[in-house]
A and B are shown apart, each in its own frame.
Chain A
Amino acid sequence: MRKWRLFLPEPTTLFDKLWNSHTVAALPGGGTLLAIDRVFLHERTGASALNSLAEAGRAVADPARVFAVTDHIVDTRPGRTDKTLMPGGQDFITETRAAAKAAGITLFDVNDPDQGIVHVISPELGIILPGCTLVAPDSHTCTQGAFGALAWGIGSSEAEHAMATGTLRLNKPKSMRVRFSGALAEGVTPKDMIMTLIARHGAAGGKGHAVEFAGQAVQALDMEGRMTLCNMATEFSAMSGFIAPDTKTLAYLEGRRYAPSGEDWDRATQNWRQLVSDTNAAFDTEIEIDASAISPMISWGTSPEHSVGISGAVPDNASERPLKYMALKPRQKLAGTPIDAAFIGSCTNSRLSDLRRASALLKGKTIASHVKAICVPGSSRVKRQAEAEGIDAIFREAGFEWRESGCSMCFYAGGESFDAGSRVISTTNRNFESRQGPGVKTHIASPETVVASALAGVIADPRALQDG
């Protein structure tokens, strides 16, 4: 009996499988030289990484596996050009274009039909695949872990390293499983799941870990919902977040431009079927959350961990600095707080399913007259599809601006912003001080909650809309 056991493979986590299959060498000192399958750059930092590499006399080792896009500071107003409202912004675009050309990498440029936010277009084009490693100088690269891949954000120096060597030098993080058991209630979304996790376990709760999201409520999500869930793993201080691939993952990817086809597809899908954590695999840390008890969430402070259920109040013991910045008081109810603006967009919540759900709630209604509202589709493809379905008309008729795709007002780059000090409800991922403009007070929430609040002119529970 004992002898037989020796031949049974150890139960392994999905994270171990991803890590082991990319281990090129063990490094002296305990680190790993890990193979990097894809690198994605954007115009905010792409030129500096590519130029720095070239200045050091180094080449991009495999340009076919490096991509770039203009998303971060590109203008999102209609009729855009290389010009942006950000001072000097045009240089970032033109220099990235020149550097991408010199390096021989693929660029999805300002008016390319495939342009969009990096974490929206990479899945759309099948650049991210299950079992692959993908890095980008953008902390929300973890979004793409939704495909059963190891995808994470890096700095410029590491981007240069990945491009020059096809590898990164890393220390293996610990493994964590966050299991969402049960089913989400009506009107509750993946955004509320990840905000609940961060509110309960802290913005540093995932430090030192790679996080697998699992459980019934995660399996029930479509691919776009899974991307929203993984998107904010970085707000949990995790290296990355990911979900085991399944039939939904394969159905999403089949036929996409950079996904394998024919015999390669068959071989690939055989390989991908093994990408699950084995039963009894041991994780360093496990967290369990009852999904059925999650309600729509709203942030009150200046870190995503400063979040409560929509019917809740600012905590009694809230610290002074975020309260002062947000002009709120302990025990103040969040619902009913007047807002000045509403934003739907960003790599968290700008996909077609987000816009469909938002427009279903908006249809035939008009937002409060004092609210400035903007919708920015996540990609040019999302925008075209939404327009084909008449979603743009619903947004416009309700009083929203309808924009070209990009990161837009997820962050303030020195150009366009919401009015100084204004209170904004937003589907973005960060509520940091001045993140969306000087003194702007950002409350992050799901698209449903943003719509309900834009209609009411105050922070509002989306479930009331759905009941009606």
Chain B
Amino acid sequence: MAEPFTTLTSLPMPLIRDNVDTDQIIPSREMKSTGKTGLADGLFAGWRYTAIGGRDPDSGFVLNDPHYADSQIILGGANFGCGSSREHAVWALAEYGFRAVIAPSFAPIFAGNCVRNGILPAVIDADAITGIAKVDSPITIDLRAQTIRLDDDQSWSFPIDEEAKAMLLEGLDAIDLSLKMADHIATWQAADRAKRPWIYLGAKQ
């Protein structure tokens, strides 16, 4: 269950690199416990600190720029979140305080993980993202209207599928939603078991 997402106004932090992978968002070595927390410190660790495993901030990396200290939105490059399926990447972003990533395209598993943890993955084109970064002012994301507004003159709309939108707006838990259909699932499985008994590995019925 995540915090509902309706509108968000924040200065966006530019991290406009193509193929930012989940190893960079949270390196495997920073996943130190089997839980979902304690990850914010490892967010972008390979770029954020001067040495691997160290904690001295690299002043050249945008996450360490005080100008963006309160930023809740990342402006990203193409194929954002590619690589490993680790949901820790999204848990780390959320724990650090990011609520949205705007990019020209996302890796599919990462985008799904975002929605399930209350982070909006918004797709707009690369030129618009570069333009927003240049202006360097707060933007407002309105999920209900599916718009990103820079000022009165400039706004962009972004696509999102109905269910992802509903889950983000209402902070819905997908498992609860599906368990409401448990009877329907059981009926489907009984019919399927007659057709494909080899799929059901438990006790034969």
Which residues from chain A sit less than 8 Å from chain B, CB to CB? 24-25, 27-31, 33, 35, 37, 44-45, 47-48, 51-52, 56, 58, 62-65, 86-88, 91-92, 95-96, 129, 131-132, 137-139, 152-158, 160-161, 164-167, 169, 171, 173, 202-204, 207-208, 234-235, 237-239, 258-260, 264-265, 267-268, 271, 302-303, 305, 321, 411-414, 420, 430, 432-435, 438-439
Q: Are A139 and B109 in contact (CB under 8 A)?
A: yes
Known contacts A62-B202, A237-B108: does B86 contact A438 (CB below 8 Å)?
no
Q: Which residues of B contact A25 (CB under 8 A)?
A: 181, 184, 188
Complex-state Cα separation, A315 to B188, whole angstroms: 53
Contact of B52 among A62, A239, A438 (CB under 8 A): A438
- Selected A-B contacts with CB under 8 Å, 19 pairs: A29-B161, A33-B185, A44-B31, A47-B34, A88-B33, A91-B33, A129-B198, A139-B83, A155-B90, A156-B87, A164-B179, A165-B178, A203-B18, A204-B78, A207-B108, A208-B108, A433-B23, A433-B24, A434-B23
Determine the chain B residues whose CB is within 8 A of the CB of A137 once the complex forms.
Answer: 85-87
Contact status A203-B31, CB under 8 Å? no
Task: Assess whether B184 is in contact with A412, with CB atoms less than 8 Å apart.
Answer: no
B115 CB, nearest partner CB in chain A, Å: 9
- B79 at interface, CB cutoff 8 A: yes
A31 touches B199 (CB 8 A): no
The contact of B162 among A28, A165, A265, A411, by CB within 8 Å, is A28
Question: Given contacts A164-B179, A203-B79, A260-B198, are A92 and B28 in contact (CB under 8 A)?
Answer: no
Q: Which residues of A contact B87 (CB under 8 A)?
A: 45, 137, 155-157
Kindly identify which residue among B105, B177, B202 contacts A237, using a CB–CB cutoff of 8 Å.
Answer: B105
* Cross-interface CB contact of B197 among A44, A139, A264, A430, cutoff 8 Å: A264
Q: A234 → chain B, closest Cβ, in Å?
A: 8
B200 engages A65 (CB within 8 Å)? yes
A411 touches B82 (CB 8 A): no
B162 engages A412 (CB within 8 Å): no
- A155 to B162, Cβ gap below 8 A? no
Assess A239 versus B108: contact at CB under 8 Å? Given A64-B202, A65-B200, A169-B174.
yes
Q: Mark B16-32, 1 if CB is under 8 A from A, else 0.
A: 01110101100111111
Asked if A412 and B174 make an inter-chain contact with CB atoms under 8 angstroms apart, the answer reads no
Chain B residues within an 8 Å CB radius of A420: 52
List, in ascending order, chain B residues with CB within 8 A of A234's CB.
Answer: 107, 109
How far apart are the CA atoms of A160 and B199 in the complex, in Å?
20
Query: If A169-B163, A204-B105, A207-B79 touch, does A161 touch B34 (CB 8 Å cutoff)?
Result: no
Contact between chains at B181 and A33 (CB < 8 Å): yes
Could you tell me the distance between the alpha carbons of A207 and B109 in the complex, rounded to whole angstroms? 11
> Which 9 A-B pairs rank lowest in CB-CB distance, beginning with the nearest?
A29-B162, A414-B29, A260-B198, A64-B202, A438-B52, A155-B87, A155-B113, A204-B79, A157-B116
Q: Would A132 and B199 count as touching, CB distance under 8 A?
A: yes
| Bound: A165/B120 CA distance, A | 25
Q: Is the CB of A88 within 8 A of B109?
A: no
User: A235 to chain B: which residues have CB within 8 Å?
Assistant: 82
Shortest Cβ gap from B83 to chain A (Å): 6
B201 A430 Cβ-Cβ under 8 A: no
B117 part of interface (Cβ distance < 8 Å):
yes
Interface of chain A, helix or strand or loop or mixed? loop
For the complex, give the distance between the alpha carbons of A433 and B45 in Å. 12
- B35, B79, B82, B116: which contacts A155 (Cβ < 8 A)? B116
Residues in A with CB closer than 8 Å to B162 are 28-31
Instruction: Find A169's partner among B17, B177, B199 (CB 8 Å cutoff).
Output: B177
- Contact with B201, one of A24, A30, A65 (Cβ below 8 angstroms): A65
A24→B185 contact, CB < 8 A: yes
Assess the A166–B85 pair: CB atoms within 8 A. no
Cα–Cα, bound, A31→B34 (Å): 32
A203 touches B109 (CB 8 A): no
In contact, B116 and A35 (Cβ under 8 angstroms):
no
What is the minimal beta-carbon distance from B189 to any residue of chain A, in angstroms? 7
Quick check: B83 and A432 within 8 Å, CB to CB?
A: yes
Contact B117 A157 (CB under 8 A): yes
User: Which chain B residues border A45 with CB–CB below 8 Å?
Assistant: 86-88
- Residues of chain B lying within 8 A (CB to CB) of residue A414: 27-30, 32, 53
- Cβ contact within 8 Å between A153 and B109: yes
Q: What would 15 more interface pairs be, CB under 8 Å, given A35-B185, A87-B32, A165-B178?
A: A27-B163, A88-B33, A131-B196, A154-B85, A161-B175, A203-B82, A207-B79, A207-B108, A237-B105, A239-B108, A264-B197, A264-B198, A414-B32, A420-B52, A430-B83
The interface residues of chain B lying within 8 Å CB-to-CB of A434 are: 23, 27, 46, 52
Chain B residue at smallest Cβ distance from A63: B202
User: Are A155 and B174 in contact, CB atoms less than 8 angstroms apart?
Assistant: no
Contact B185 A166 (CB under 8 A): yes
Instruction: Give the CA-CA distance A161 to B88 in the complex, in Å.
Output: 17
Contact of A432 among B23, B78, B105 (CB under 8 A): B23
**In the complex, B64 has a CB within 8 A of chain A:** no
Q: Are A160 and B175 in contact (CB under 8 A)?
A: yes
Which single residue of chain A is at the shortest CB-CB distance from B80? A204
CB distance from B77 to the nearest CB of A (A): 10
> In the bound complex, what is the Cα–Cα distance between A302 and B23 (angstroms)?
12
Verify B163–A31 contact, CB threshold 8 A.
yes
Query: B94 to nearest A CB, angstroms?
Result: 12
B188 touches A35 (CB 8 A): yes
Q: How far is the CB of A421 from chain B (nearest CB, A)?
A: 11
Q: Which of B31-83 contact A (CB under 8 A)?
A: 31-36, 46, 52-53, 78-79, 82-83
For the complex formed, measure the closest distance between the CB of A334 and the CB atoms of chain B, giving whole angstroms.
20
Contact of A439 among B31, B52, B79, B189 (CB under 8 A): B52
Q: Which chain A residues lie closer than 8 Å to B85 at the CB level?
A: 137-139, 153-155
> Taking CB as reference atom, which chain A residue is nearest B164?
A171
Which B residues lie within 8 Å of A433 (CB)?
23-24, 46
User: Chain B: which residue is nearest A49 at the CB level?
Assistant: B87
Q: Report whether B163 and A164 are in contact in the complex, using a CB–CB cutoff of 8 Å.
A: no
